[in-house]
Amino acid sequence: MDEVRVEIEGRQLTLSNLDKIFYPGSSFTKAGVVDFYARIAPLMVPHLAGRAVTLVRAPDGVDGQRFFEKRCPPSAPPWVRRGGKLGSCIVDDAPTLVWLANLAAIELHTHQHLVDAPDEPRAVVFDLDPGPPAGVLDCARTALDLRALLDRLGLTVYVKTSGSKGLHLSVPVNGAVPGITDDTTKAFALALGRVLAEAGPDRVTVTMAKDRRPGKVFVDWSQNDDNKTTVAVYSLRIRSEPTVSAPVSWDEVSDALDAGDEQALTFETSAVLERVSDHGDLFAGNLTDQQSLPALA
- How crowded is residue 248: how many other Cβ atoms within 10 Å of its Cβ? 23
CATH number, position 173: 3.30.70.3300
146 and 23 share one domain: no
* pLDDT score recorded for residue 111: 96
Among 110, 132, 167, identify where a domain stops. Answer: 110
Tell me whether residue 59 is in a domain.
yes
pLDDT tens, position by position, 130-148: 999 999 999 999 999 999 9
pLDDT tens, position by position, 222-255: 999 999 999 999 999 999 999 999 999 999 999 9
**Which of 41-45, 158-162, 174-178, 198-202 has the lowest average pLDDT?**
174-178
226 and 137 share one domain: yes
Question: In sequence order, what are the residues at sequence separation of 6 or more whose Cβ sits closer than 8 angstroms to the Cβ of residue 164?
Answer: 237, 239, 243
* pLDDT score recorded for residue 210: 82
Q: Mean pLDDT over residues 87-103, rounded?
A: 98
227 and 252 share one domain: yes
Q: Would you give the DSSP letter of residue 222?
A: G
Count the domains in the chain: 2
Tell me whether residue 131 is in a domain.
yes
- 273/285 Cα distance (integer angstroms): 19
Please report which confidence band the pLDDT of residue 211 belongs to, taking 50, 70 and 90 as the band edges.
confident
Please report which confidence band the pLDDT of residue 9 belongs to, taking 50, 70 and 90 as the band edges.
very high
135 and 240 share one domain: yes
For residue 12, the enclosing domain spans 3-110
142 and 264 share one domain: yes
CATH number, position 51: 3.90.920.10
267 and 140 share one domain: yes
- Describe the strand order of the beta sheet including 167-172 as a list of residue ranges: 204-205, 217-220, 123-130, 167-172, 158-161, 247-248
Among 87, 110, 133, identify where a domain stops. Answer: 110
pLDDT tens, position by position, 160-195: 999 999 999 999 999 988 889 999 999 999 999 999
Distances (CA, A) of 165 to 172, 188, 235, 239, 276: 23, 24, 14, 10, 22
140 and 263 share one domain: yes
Residue 1 has pLDDT above 90, yes or no: no
273 and 142 share one domain: yes
* pLDDT score recorded for residue 209: 85
* pLDDT score recorded for residue 49: 98
87 and 133 share one domain: no
Identify the bridge partners of residue 69 per DSSP, sorted by sequence position. 55
106 and 134 share one domain: no
